[in-house]
Amino acid sequence: MTARLTGFAAKRPDAGIEISGVWDASTDAAKVANLPTGTVHLWKKSFDASAEEMERCYEVLSPEERTRAQRFLVEPPRRAFILTRGTLRLLLAKYLDRAPNNLSFRYTKFGKPLLNEGNELRFNVSHTEGVALLAFVRGTEVGVDVEKIRPVKDLKDLANRFFSVSERQKLNELELEDELHAAFFRCWTRKEAYIKGKGEGLSIPLHQFDVSIERGETQALIATRPEASEADRWLVRDIRFDGSYAAALAIEVANTANSGNLSS
């Protein structure tokens, strides 16, 4: 099984990573097959799900997860939690040939989830208004982030608080409101994907590394501080599946094979 993500327009010869298309977890689950080392599989899950899908996802949750779901006082976040967590379990179960409700997780001190049994399969999940995005890979770390593009009050103030100097300078050069919002969310998702991949949360200050805000970058991670070599260890790219969302993927490429191409 090898599908191509058409949003990735170029190659990085030293990456050795192949990236799938963004499959729909509601309709394409039969595509789950072998996940070779050096291949990233991407899935989306719409929160506009049927009652049957909701029930199936709820059924596979652990008792602790069901308790967490019941704590939500309003429907949208409860639905998002059940569908995201249930879909994660269902997909992991297919990759591992296990029962979904028998999977257990542990968390790093910064909250990044891992399979409890020490499997080399790595995953990362993000959700926003209306959709979840899930990434799976073997043998290396991965991070993913998705955001609904929407009007943001005091957008430049937020950028000034969290973005690096070079990122703020680039954003301040934009005058059209639509361009500014799109660039802001490109920057935000690229940065979030990187720190989620690193698994160190906000212990990595967002202003301590630079990403590009331009469209279609084949390597959006420009510089890291204080360890400049980190920029060569990670590949950060956009994921394009719906024009109303911004999304990005970060992959640690230092542990992948030195031969082969990043497929597009």
Q: What is the 3-state secondary structure (H, E, C) of 190-246?
A: HHHHHHHHHCCHHHCCHHHEEECCCCCCCCCEEEECCCCCHHHHEEEEECCCCCCEE
Residue 98, number of CB atoms within 10 A of its CB:
15
Structural domain includes residue 4:
no
pLDDT band at 255 (very low <50, low <70, confident <90, very high): low
- Angle, helices 63-71 vs 75-96, to 10°: value is 160
Assign residue 191 a region (left: φ > 0; alpha: ψ between -120 and 50; beta: otherwise): alpha
pLDDT tens-place string over residues 231-253: 999 999 999 999 999 999 999 99
Decide if 95 is inside a domain.
yes
What is d(CA 206, CA 78) in angstroms, rounded to the nearest whole number? 29
Range of the domain at 166: 18-252
Is residue 63 one of the residues assigned to a domain? yes
Decide if 115 contacts 103 (C-beta within 8 A). Answer: yes
- Domain for residue 83, yes or no? yes
CA 232 – CA 182 distance, rounded (Å)? 26
Residue 143: closest CA among 208, 77, 233: 233
Lowest mean pLDDT among 108-117, 144-153, 218-227: 108-117
| C-beta neighbour count of 261 within 10 angstroms | 13
Mean pLDDT, residues 38-66? 96
**10-19 pLDDT per residue, tens:** 334 335 788 8
Residue 169 has pLDDT above 90, yes or no: yes
Domain count, the chain: 1
Give pLDDT tens digits for 93-148.
999 999 999 999 998 888 889 998 778 999 999 999 999 999 999 999 999 999 99
Q: Are 145 and 126 in contact (CB under 8 A)?
A: yes
Q: Is 127 contained in some domain? A: yes
pLDDT of residue 233: 94
pLDDT cut 70: percent of the chain above it: 91
CATH number (domain holding residue 182): 3.90.470.20
Residue 154 pLDDT > 50: yes
User: Is 220 among the domain residues?
Assistant: yes
Asked whether residue 264 is domain-assigned, the answer is no
What is the C-alpha separation between 17 and 12, in angstroms, rounded? Answer: 9
Task: Answer whether residue 232 is part of any domain.
Answer: yes
The token duo for 125 is 């999940």
Residue 8 pLDDT > 70: no
pLDDT of residue 73: 93
